Amino acid sequence: MILFRVLLYFSSFFVIWYCSGIIIRSVENLAQRLKISPFAMSFFVLGILTSIPEFSIGINSIINNTPDIFVGNLLGASLIIFIFIIPLLAVFGEG
Task: Give this prediction's pTM.
Answer: 0.54
Calculate mean pLDDT across residues 64-90: 83
The reported pLDDT for the residue numbered 48 is 84
Mind listing the pLDDT tens digit for each residue in 44-56?
887 888 788 888 8
Calculate mean pLDDT across residues 18-41: 89
- Are residue 93 and residue 55 in the same domain, yes or no? yes
State which H helix or E strand residue 14 sits in.
helix 2-34
Calculate mean pLDDT across residues 2-20: 94
- Asked if 20 and 45 count as a contact pair (C-beta separation under 8 A), the reply is no
Is 57's pLDDT higher than 70?
yes
- Asked if 37 and 56 count as a contact pair (C-beta separation under 8 A), the reply is no
How confident is residue 40, by pLDDT bands cut at 50, 70 and 90? confident
Distance CA 49, CA 30 (A): 16
- Are residue 55 and residue 91 in the same domain, yes or no? yes
In a domain, 95, yes or no: yes
In a domain, 6, yes or no: yes
SS3 58: helix
In a domain, 45, yes or no: no
Task: Identify the CA nearest to 57 among candidates 44, 76, 80.
Answer: 76
In a domain, 40, yes or no: no
Distance of CA 76 to CAs 53, 57, 85, Å? 14, 13, 13
Is 95's pLDDT higher than 70?
no
* Range of the structural domain that residue 26 is part of: 1-35
